[in-house]
Chains A and B, each alone.
Chain A
Amino acid sequence: MLQTSSLPTTPATLLEITGLTKSFDGVKAVEDVSLQLREGIITTLVGPNGAGKTTLFNLITGHLRPSSGEIRWQGTSIVGCAPWKIARLGVARTFQDLRLFSHMTVFENVLTAMEKSAWFWQSERATGAQRRERARQILDATGLLHKADVRANDLAYAERKFLSLARIMATDARMWLLDEPASGLDPRSYELFVALLRSEVRRGITICIIEHNLEIVVSISDRISFLDQGRLLADGEPEEILSNPHLSSIYFGERNS
């Protein structure tokens, strides 16, 4: 680790990763990464392609099992837990390739994300009508209300990105892992997107974003973690990380991005 810095008042740690390693047939996709995601803080994961950022997400959400190391959610280890259990604990994620429920409508996509129970009935406090109303509100906030009955597959690119965000807004997760959520958005959509993210953070959601777009990184991050070839090279405040010439050269290029 090149640098670390701590914030003046440290909020509670929601997710703690210690010494996490994942190898595939001898290739270390993630190597000895230690990280803390604190409540209400937006952390950005940056690094060249293939640095292991998505693999890290997959490890956290249980889609992959670590070769070694520890992951703790609010103090309890979640290594080896099934992905759906981790999701129900309050960790939600988006995918780089979106993975929308393509044959369902926009409205159904959001509704499905809200429904946790496997059974015919939902055991949570909210009733069906309340859930539908909340779904409508979320669609309104993401500008998709007029497309509520459109099949997800038939949406335009920007709309699909917003649906992905709407889906995660529908869960009541405490922490969001967003994998390049705004990539490819035109400037206006991107402004709306960032504004939405900010308002969610104000509501207390903890967010970790994988992002390549430096503008996003600069404008919304509270902390930046820099990964390269599976290792965590730096972890700290945006100004320190971005002004570091060594990291810039890795990011921009002696090695191919």
Chain B
Amino acid sequence: MLAYVANLATLICINAILAVTLNFIMGYAGIFSLAHAVFFGVGAYVAALMALQWTDSLLLQLAFAMTVSGLLSAALALPALRVRGDYFVAASLGFQVLAVTVFSEWKSVTGGIGGLVGIPPATIAGHAFVNPMEFLGLAAVALALVVLLTRTLVRSSFGRSLKAIRDSESAALAFGKNVALIKTLSVFYSSAMCATAGVLYADYLSFINVESFTIDASTLFMAMVIVGGIGTVWGPLVGAVLLTLLPAVLTYLPFLPQTEIGSVQQMVYGLAMVLLMIFKPDGLMGIKQGEA
């Protein structure tokens, strides 16, 4: 029982990191990305490859994963952010589709559809994180750091520039904000931090494949942010908890065939998005109540 709860808690932490980092660009910069799962995947693959072929040092894996992910996001952001926001959605969707193809076809690097197995556990200063409770602690610390760092950024002058862009891009320009650069930097930060979740994921499960990094995953992350409440500190955390627990709850429903749980999950996300947008677009925590 304890192992089960620890497992769930670890997944919540990983999902929370993904939600917080997506919220950073969606809620504060107003950039809607359907490609968040791509950077999650990049982080996971980089960590897995490093663990399998070079080093199981967690810190090194994090450093490389974040760098690769960040640079890749710049390749998407720099051209796509120069134009309208809705174009970025389209570009990110295409980017997500392309990434899934790359993950599935680049067998030598990603193991193709089969994925990568037997990933050795991560270590910090020689101590391997094998014990689930230890890993949970690690994940929780990582989450805390991401939340802290994000919160600091949001409250800084950079955060104010972001919120200015979200509230009125033309006014932000008129007050000297280099909007394209700021947006690119925010995407860089979001993607780099998102990769840390990928690193944790790969080291935790010891196995990754493309199935975890598809558009369904991006949909889940978006749903977590939206359900919890976009643009707030607690929103993504609440969303992550609720939506990570959802599959566990669904397995207890007797009339639901196991094979359909994934579909039903997605339907719940979709329905939640529609209903929330009609009745409570600010999500459960709401931008009005939380600090923006």
Contact = CB atoms under 8 A, between A and B. Distances in A.
- Verify whether A and B have any Cβ pair under 8 Å: yes
A171 B172 CA distance: 12
A171 B292 contact: no
B173 A87 contact: yes
A73 interface: no
A99 B171 contact: yes
Given A111-B160, A120-B153, A63 B173 contact: yes
A118 B178 contact: yes
A103 B158 contact: no
Interface in B148-183: 153, 156-158, 160-161, 163-164, 166-168, 170-179, 181-182
A171 B176 contact: yes
A95 interface: yes
Contacts of A101: 163-164, 167-168, 171-172
Q: Would you call the interface of chain A mostly helix, strand, loop, or mixed?
A: loop
A161 B216 CA distance: 46
B287 interface: yes
Contacts of B177: 84, 118
Given A84-B179, A101-B168, A104-B292, A115 B173 contact: no
Given A115-B157, A118-B181, A83 B174 contact: yes
Secondary structure dominating the interface of B: helix
A84 B167 contact: no
B185 interface: yes
Interface residues of A, number: 30
B164 A112 contact: yes
Contacts of B292: 103-104
Nearest to A168: B175
Nearest to B173: A83
A95 B181 CA distance: 23
A93 B171 CA distance: 9
Contact of A87 (B153, B157, B175, B182): B175
Given A104-B163, A118-B161, A61 B176 contact: no
A115 B162 CA distance: 12
Contact of B164 (A87, A104, A119): A104
Nearest to A116: B176
Contacts of A111: 157, 160
Interface string A110-141: 01110111111110000000000000000000
Contact of A61 (B153, B156, B174, B178): B174
A135 to B, nearest CB: 12
Contacts of A92: 174-175
A112 B160 CA distance: 6
B155 to A, nearest CB: 10
Contacts of A202: none
Nearest to A111: B160
Contacts of B175: 84, 87, 92, 112-113, 167, 171
Interface string B217-254: 00000000000000100000000000000000000000
A87 B178 CA distance: 10
Contact of B171 (A95, A103, A115, A122): A95
13 contacts: A83-B170, A83-B173, A84-B173, A84-B175, A84-B178, A99-B174, A101-B163, A103-B166, A103-B292, A104-B292, A115-B161, A117-B157, A167-B175
- 9 tightest Cβ-Cβ pairs between the two chains A and B: A99-B171, A87-B176, A83-B173, A99-B168, A101-B167, A115-B157, A112-B160, A88-B176, A118-B178
